[in-house]
Structures are given as C-alpha cells and as structure tokens.
Amino acid sequence: MFGFVRPLRGELKVREWERFQSVYCGLCHTIRSHYGLLQTVMHSYDCTYLALVLCALEEEGGSCKKRCIMHPLRRRTCAAESNGMRRAAAVSVILTWHKLEDTVHDEHGLKRLGARALQFLLRRGYRRAARDLPGFDTRTRACLDELGQLERQKTASLDRPADAFARILRAAVANYSADSRILEEMFYHTGRWIYLIDACDDVAEDFGSGNYNPVILRWQLTQPSVEPVKEAMNHTLLQSLAASYHAYVLLRPYRDAGIIENILCQGLPEVTRQVLDGTFTNHGGKNRHGSL
Amino acid sequence: MDPYKVLGVSPSASDDEVKRAYRDLARKYHPDNYVDNPLADLAKEKMQEINDAYDTIMKQRQNGGSSSGGQSYTQQGGYSGSYGGYSGTNAGIYNQVRNAINVGNIGMAEELLSRISQRDAEWHYLRAAVCYRKGWFDEAMQEINQACTMAPNNAEYRRMQSMLSNSSAYGGYRPMQQNDAMDCCTQLLCLNCLCSCCGGGGGC
C-alpha cells in the first residue's frame, strides 16, 4: 500500500520494537517461501500491521532464527509462519500486483514500462496468491474498478472513493476467523484512513498535475496545500481511527496488544499530524521503511 | 470465566486496584463509545462481562469482610439509537428507515432513502445516521449540517450535530499526537479532569 501505517517507535518498548521487526521479517520469509523471492521487493509495514493483528489472535505464536538477503551475516529473529502470516502474505502479493496494474494504467513512459516488466516477473507468484485467496483477488479488482470510475467522474466526495478503497481492506480479513466481523470493521476504518491520508499527502502534487484528488475537490481548494482544511481533515481522519480502535478493543489478542495500541493511538495520529503539517517524509528517517 | 482475568488484575489486588481496572475497562467499552456502531451488540456483551466480574469480586470481598466496593455502571439509555418524533408527508417511509437503522439493516435504510425525491430536514438527518454507521464521517457531517440549517430548532438534530463535530466523537479513543513536555502536562490535566468526572458521575 502506501507505507503510512507505522508504530511510534520512541514509545515502544525495546522488546516490542524487536517483536515488530520479527513480524516484518517473518512475513517477508512467508512471502518468499510461498510466492517467490521477488515478491518481497515491495514488502512494507502496512501488511506487517495486518500480520501483527492476525497473529495476535492465534493462540500459538513462536519465533525462529533465519538468515536472508538483506541480513546475510547475522541470523534474525522471525515470527513463525502461521495462518495469519499466510493470509497477510497472500494479501500483500495480491495488493502489490494490483498496484502495479494501476501504474501500468495511469502512468506513461519509463514508469509504465518498469511496472510492466515487474509485473511480468511477479506474475507467477501473483497467480498462486490469487488461487489461495480467490475471493480477495476478485473483490480487490472490483473495488479498484469502482475507484477508477469514481476518479474519472471527478467525484467531489471524500467518503465515496475512500469507501471503495476501504472495502479492499475489509475483504482482506473477510472469512478469516470467528472474529471476522470485528476485523472487517477495524480494517475498513483503517482503509478509509489510509486512502484519505494518502490523498492529503498528494494534494500539492495533484494540484500541479491536475490528477484526481478527493480532498482538493471536496473542499474546492484554491491553493496547493491542505492547510485551510487541516482541522476538518484531522477530525474526519481521527474519527476513522477512533472507529478502528473501538473495533479493535473488542478483540481478545493473545499478545502484542501494546504494539497494536501504539500504532492505533500514537503511530497513526502522529502520521496524521505530520501529513497535515507537511512534515511527513515517506522513506526518510533512520529506517529504510521510515518508522517514525 | 475468572472475574479477575476479565478485569486483568491478580486476585491479590487491592480494592482500589480492582476499581481502577474496572473503571478503565468500563470507559473503554462504555455504550457511549458504540452509539450507532455496528458492533454495539458485542460491546454490550463485553460491558456485561466486565460488570458481572466486578460485581462478583466485590460481593466475594464483602462476604469475606473486606471494605465495600461500590456498584458497577448500569446500562444507560440512548444506546439503541432510536430515531423518532417526525410527522410529515413522508412519515410512513421514514418510520421504515428508522426501523431499518435500528435493526442494523443499513443497506435497506439507504435504499429507502434513495427513493424519496422530496428531501427535507428529516431526510438529511436520517441520511446522516446512515452515513455515520457506515463510517462515512465526512458525509454524515455534511448531512447533519444540512438538516440543522433546514430545521434550526430541532433538538434531536442539534444533538447529533454536536456529537459528530467535536472530539467527543472519538469516544474512549485518545490519540496522543505528540509527546513533548507541554503535552505531558496537558495530558495530566485531562486525566485529572476525567478522573474527577468519572468519580462524580459514574458511581464508582
């Protein structure tokens, strides 16, 4: 997705941060063993969050030490493969594929060519993932088609396009476990937040290029900045986070509640603040994936 | 289930610790946080569980001779979010919409609303309720503002407008945005306010 979902690292305990990293590594290994090494190039923290939540609901949760290309010298602790891990892995691969498809559709020149080439390389892994989660694949495609249509119609609404996107995340956890109802609600609201925060982050760029941006259209912005509607956007974004949180607290996680609460109550509000202030940097900071 | 486990405290915890744990949980799952929420039924179950656990512990301790504990929260009204009090041309169909919202059939409520071409304040109010349940918070805000503009004296619309427009819309969710020294003080102040509010009004 977009790399907006992150913990606020300064507020995590050291062992929590290590655990988060081990889930990240564990997911990477799961993707690699099921769908091929190449699929891991687009691996991000967004799906790690999904894996973290799904694994927290499983009674058993172990870890192991593994080596990988990024860390060839020292073996790193990885969260063990499980149902939740496999679900998150398939979701990650399918989302990556559709994101590339979007790029092929929307971009021109080198970017398009690059996306096509990458798609060619990733096609087998994608087919396997789509076979493992056929419902999610079709629903993602349908939602993205709907989203494309709303974009072409220049829909001046925040909620309509956000809804089409959020339903993708809802589908990602559908029919997963007895808690699906709660999970679907939790990830729907996270999805709305991701879509809208991404739109806020793109305001300046889209204002220049004339690309579709729901925030610009909804507020009829006359300058390339989200500044005049900061308060209103902050409110509507935090409402989604609050709804996601109220769903989350109904789950009974076996572990990692501290990390998940950090992400929901600190990491995401902090990202919200940074994006609205214009101080957000996607891959900046100490970490490759830009933890806060 | 072990009532101590439900509250997340050890059996050797003091009465005050039990009370504090109970209060924190009750604040988290309070029906006010789940008004018009599709998961309200689950929150209600959870709240019941917490209330039962607290009552059990306090009863046990009272019988065992330790100090008295106070009573758990009682369920308050306004939870099922019933909409009413309209008598216009569309009263019949609005009633159906209200029923659909109350039983959680949002698709049906939406469908019924879309059939009405004459859109008065009540229509916008009900559509706000539908949007809110779906998590379409921006459109819910727009609709309720519209309803209040068309019928400025309706107390029910005003109530919803104020509920949606300030930070009470976040319920028990407390986003902590920044962690510098200033904020720490503000948080302590807020916490202080909260505790005194709860102590005064919550009956615990």
The pLDDT tens digits for A82-122 are 999 999 999 999 999 999 998 888 788 888 999 999 999 99
Q: Say how far apart CA A241 and CA A66 lie, in whole Å.
A: 35
Most B CBs within 10 Å: which of A249, A261, A277, as the mutation test of the B interface? A249
Per-window interface: A 157-216 vs B, CB < 8 A: 157-159, 162-163, 166, 181-182, 185, 188-189, 192
Which of B160, B162, B173 would best serve as a mutation to test chain A binding (most A beta carbons within 10 A)? Answer: B173
Q: What is the rounded average pLDDT for all residues in chain B?
A: 79
Main-chain dihedrals φ then ψ at residue A34, nearest 5 degrees = -95, -35
Q: How confident is the model at residue A2 (pLDDT cuts 50, 70, 90)?
A: low
Q: Residue B179 — very low, low, confident or very high, per pLDDT cuts 50/70/90?
A: very low
Q: A103 phi and psi, to 5 degrees?
A: -60, -45
Chain A's closest residue to B42, CA to CA, is A250
Does A246 lie at the interface with B, CB-CB under 8 angstroms? Answer: yes
**Could A166 and B141 be called an inter-chain contact, meaning their C-beta atoms sit closer than 8 Å?**
no
Residue with more model confidence, B70 or A130? A130
Q: How far apart are alpha carbons A194 and A204 in whole angstroms?
A: 17
Mean pLDDT of B40-56: 92
pLDDT-based confidence at residue A71 (cuts at 50, 70, 90): confident
Residue of B177, B178, B179, B180 for testing the chain A interface, max A β-carbons within 10 Å: B177
Q: What is the pLDDT of residue B70?
A: 58
DSSP code, position B169:
G
Q: Is B119 left (phi over 0), alpha (psi -120 to 50) or beta?
A: beta
Whether B34 and chain A come into contact, CB under 8 Å, resolves to yes
pLDDT at residue A43, rounded to an integer: 79
Residue A46's pLDDT is what?
Answer: 86
What is the mean predicted confidence (pLDDT) over A50-69?
Answer: 88
Residue B85 has pLDDT above 50, yes or no: yes
CB B180 within 8 A of CB B158: no
The predicted model gives A43-68 an average pLDDT of 88
Q: How many CB pairs under 8 A join A and B?
A: 88
B29 vs A249, A266, A268: nearest CB = A249
Instruction: List residues bridging with A64 in a β-sheet.
Output: A78
pLDDT greater than 80 at residue B186: no
Residue A150 in contact with residue A164, Cβ under 8 Å? yes
Question: CA A172 to CA A106: how far, in whole Å?
Answer: 24
Which residue would you say has higher pLDDT here, A43 or A214?
A214
| Amino acid letter for position A199 | A
Long-range contacts of B159-166 (CB under 8 A, 24+ apart): B160/B125, B160/B128, B160/B129, B163/B35, B164/B128, B164/B132, B164/B137, B164/B140, B165/A235, B165/B141
CA distance B153 to chain A (A): 25
Closest-approach residue (CA) in chain A for B174: A265
User: Cβ of B175 and A238 within 8 Å?
Assistant: yes
Q: Please give the residue that has the higher pLDDT: either A10 or A64.
A: A10
Give residue A108's pLDDT. 83
Binary contact (A239, B33; C-beta < 8 A): no
Phi, psi of A238 (to 5 degrees): -70, -30
Please say whether the beta carbons of A200 and A238 come within 8 A. no
Alpha helices in A36-158 (DSSP H): 45-56, 83-106, 109-132, 134-152
Q: What pLDDT is stored for residue A170 in this prediction?
A: 96
Give the model's pLDDT for residue A64: 82
* In the predicted structure, residue B183 carries a pLDDT above the cut 90: no
Q: Rounded mean pLDDT of A183-200?
A: 96
pLDDT band at A20 (very low <50, low <70, confident <90, very high): very high
| Length of chain A in terms of residues written | 292
Q: Check pLDDT > 60 for residue A141.
A: yes
CB–CB contact A218 B138 (8 Å): yes
| Confidence tier at B83 by pLDDT (50, 70, 90) | low
Q: Is the ipTM of this complex over 0.95?
A: no
Q: Does B38 touch chain A (CB under 8 A)?
A: yes
Share of chain B above pLDDT 70, in %: 74
Q: In this predicted model, which residue has the larger pLDDT, B133 or B88?
A: B133
User: What was the pLDDT predicted at A11?
Assistant: 93
Q: For residues B132 and B171, give the distance between their C-alpha atoms in angstroms, rounded to a whole number.
A: 14
Lowest mean per-residue pLDDT among A259-263, A281-285, B55-59: A281-285
- A287 vs B117: CA distance, rounded Å: 54
Mean pLDDT of the B138-164 span = 94
Residue B200 has pLDDT above 90, yes or no: no
